[in-house]
Amino acid sequence: MIRKAKIEDIPEIHKIINEFAEKGLLLPRSLSDLYENIRDFYILVIDGKVVGTSALHIIWEDLGEVRSVIVKDEYRGRGYGKKLVDTCLREAKFLGLKRVLALTYIPEYFKKLGFVEVDKRTLPFKVWSDCVKCPKFPDCGEIALLYYL
Helix (H, G, I), strand (E, B) or coil at 64: strand
Full pLDDT tens readout for the chain, 149 residues: 999 999 999 999 999 999 998 887 887 889 999 999 999 999 999 999 999 999 999 999 999 999 999 999 999 999 999 999 999 999 999 999 999 999 998 899 999 999 999 988 787 655 555 655 555 555 667 889 999 99
Domains recognised in the chain with CATH numbers: 2-148 (3.40.630.30)
What gap in Å lies between CA 3 and CA 44, rounded to an integer?
Answer: 7
Instruction: Tell me whether residue 8 is exposed, middle or buried, using C-beta atoms within 10 angstroms of its C-beta: 0 to 12, 13 to 18, 19 or more.
Output: exposed
CB neighbour list of residue 105: distance below 8 Å, 6 or more residues apart = 24, 25, 26, 141, 142, 143
What size, in residues, is the chain?
A: 149
Q: What is the pLDDT of residue 44?
A: 98
Cα–Cα distance for residue pair 53/98, rounded to 1 Å:
23
99-104 and 63-71 strand pairing:
parallel
Residue 116 near residue 145 (C-beta atoms within 8 A)? yes
